[in-house]
Amino acid sequence: MSGFHHSEMPSKLLVDQLQGLPRGRALDLATGYGRNALYLASQGYAVEGAELSEGAVLSCRQEATRRGLSVDIQQVDLERHRLKRDAYDLITCFYYLDRNLFPQIEAALKSGGMIVYETFLIDQRERYGKPGRIEFCLRHNELLSVFYNLRVRFYREGEVEGAFIAQLIAEKSDRGPRGTVKALLEEASVFPEDAAPAPGKGARS
């Protein structure tokens, strides 16, 4: 599964959906070697990155210098780090899952800001045995359940290019609850069948 994390190419979801994302200040969580942070910087974003691995942080900084890009990547433990509130126009998170971060992510978005999230579904573990721990996989509709106060701009879950994943793009709206997951579910009198699992430690799967 390492190809999902160490590729030099940015996420296809991020590239394909870039034109619909707000510009400005971006935060890339669990940055790794910087494939998505560097891409956003090349597109004009003011990018911050948060990554635990010292080696990955140094590598990202060196690559940013080589490309002439500005990326403020910091070595932080996301299990202990607190995100700034109302600070970001865009937050991205790929193949890292710490459920304790979900409310922080929503609070860290500015009004009109968006989250782009992608990681493995439980189907991936059931089919291939990885990630090794079940709490590092999303349950069906879990992202919709967690970010139900946001307006969904894009959602997909299932098999994508050989992996079972969930993908979400959602907006923190200042226009009230209309169009949010919560409002749509209330209108239909339907709620996600599975409640979100209890918070667990984060891990890059």
Helix (H, G, I), strand (E, B) or coil at 146: helix
**55 compared with 175, residue with greater pLDDT:** 55
Q: Any bridge partners for residue 180, and if so which? A: 151
Domains and CATH numbers, the chain: 3-204 (3.40.50.150)
d(CA 48, CA 201): 22
The CA angle 39-45-51, to the nearest 5 degrees, is: 65
Q: Note the pLDDT tens digit of each residue in 60-115.
A: 999 999 999 999 999 999 999 999 999 999 999 999 999 999 999 999 999 999 99
The gap between the terminal CA atoms of the chain, to the nearest Å, is 8
pLDDT, one tens digit per residue, over 121-131 is 999 988 888 88
Q: Does residue 2 have a pLDDT over 50?
A: no
What pLDDT shows up at residue 1?
32
| DSSP character at residue 171 | E
Q: What is the mean pLDDT of the chain?
A: 87
Q: How far is CA 81 from CA 24, 31, 59, 112, 137, in A?
A: 22, 14, 21, 24, 22
pTM listed for this prediction: 0.84
* pLDDT band of 136, cuts 50, 70, 90: confident
Cβ atoms of 72 and 50 closer than 8 Å:
no
**H and E: helices and strands count for the chain:** 8, 9
Q: How far apart are CA 27 and CA 89, in angstroms?
A: 8
Answer for the pair 103, 79: CB distance below 8 angstroms, yes or no: no
- pLDDT recorded at residue 6: 52
Burial class (CB within 10 angstroms; exposed 0-12, middle 13-18, buried 19+) of 9: exposed
